[in-house]
Amino acid sequence: MSPSVPRGRPPQSIDPTASSAARLGAELRARRVAHALTLTGLASRIGYTAQHLSDVELAKSTASQSFVAAVDDALDAEGRLVALYPAVLIEQILERQKRASARREALRCPQEADDVKRREFIGLGLAVVLLGPEAAAKASKDDWDRIAEAWSCEISTAPDRNALLPGLVADLKRLHASGGPQRVVAQLSSYAATIAITNGDTELARRWWRRARASAVAAGDSQLVAYITGRQAMQALYGAYPPHHVVLLADEALRATNAPCTGRMNALGAKARALAMLGRQRSTSETLAALEHTFNRLPPEVTRDKLSSRGWAEERLHHARSYCAMYGISPAAGDVAREEALRLYSDASWLDRAQIKLHRATSEADPHDAVATLTDLSDTQRSDRFVQTIAARVLAACEARKVAGVAELREAL
């Protein structure tokens, strides 16, 4: 007998095609029912009220990332619920814009409406999108924390990071004008540095990193300092820095705090990769072991966060092993790591999934696999520096082994 909801009045129906929020709600209910859990039973497991859970299922209430992550974990959804969240977030943003536009004046045509939505989202910043123009100028510290969380999701999943830069800079200007919290300045500046790296502009990235690190120090938060410096170390791998410089940055991040946190994970992950590039197999293996040990001590809210750049889910652990395997560190373990990473990464994590596939193509010197991976990406995604760096590694491995298909891969790049 298939599991069913408890007896009582029939549950309200959900049309999963009505909206992204309805699709999330329908999937949530289906999994809850499959686990034979009542609303109250599931709510007690995740620390939310049954009413809020019901409202999210019926798409009547806004779901937060932490809520979706908690439900995903409680229902053993393996990231499938979390993968639906970015579409819900964007839908919420556009709906707020729609209401704001309607209050100002009726727009002349659907095409103009779409153009205005896009300009507002890209150019005005998430402070305006989430709070409205007037409230954005008076954003509280709690408001800015919400805005930073939204940016952390966008920077991790956006198909075109360049499109985020105008809005990101607008919010940074707002922060400066209002004397907003330095911790948010640090986070947003690090995201601007990420976009600079995406474009291959290492000098601009350095300037953003300096601002991010200065703001993190000013905030007096050692874990934030580790987060910013560890993130810089990780991205230095793609920004024309020599591996030994990456190790120095990673060690600096590790000195900032001993607490298990995203910053230490970024630092250890970056250090392992750099040591692998330097051919230091024993040190790489020791650093990977330290990475796994620290991962097992992370708070659940960090390991459940699959979407934002502030989380550190299990797939990132496998990602580190996959990267190191490209340089001959435990190749067999690398095969397993790639399979696990691809199983766990959500579809929204397009960049991570593409990198893992390119790791595989490098390890197997398979140019055809690499070409297939690149072909599946858009032109913008294919030109991303994070993709290009690993793709160049594939090309070098294929050229060294003189395999067939190198010319096709070179053309794809």
Average pLDDT, the chain: 86
Which pLDDT value is given to residue 10? 61
How many C-beta atoms lie closer than 10 Å to residue 94's C-beta?
A: 16
Q: Is the dihedral of CA 276, 280, 285, 288 positive or negative?
A: negative
Lowest mean pLDDT among 39-43, 73-77, 85-89: 85-89
pLDDT for 373 equals 94
**Rounded-to-integer distance, Cα 184 and Cα 174, Å:** 11
Which pLDDT band, with edges at 50, 70 and 90, does 288 fall under?
Answer: very high
Percent of the chain, pLDDT > 90? 51
Tell me 241's DSSP state.
-
Count CA atoms within 13 Å of residue 175 on its CB side: 26
Is residue 33 predicted with pLDDT exceeding 60? Answer: yes
* Contact criterion met (CB below 8 Å) for 23 and 17: yes
Q: Which two tokens stand for residue 237?
A: 């791998």
Residues 6+ apart with CB under 8 A from 298: 260, 261, 262, 265, 312
The per-residue pLDDT for range 202-260, each reduced to its tens digit, is 899 999 999 999 999 999 999 999 999 999 999 999 877 899 999 999 999 999 999 99
Q: pTM above the 0.85 mark?
A: no
Chain centroid to CA 3: 34
Residue-level pLDDT at 121: 55
C-alpha 279/C-alpha 109 separation (Å) is 60
Domain 1-104 has CATH 1.10.260.40: yes
**Is residue 358's pLDDT more than 70?**
yes
**pLDDT score recorded for residue 107:** 41
Please state, in angstroms and rounded to a whole number, the distance separating the CA atoms of residues 370 and 373. 5
CA distance 290 to 272: 10
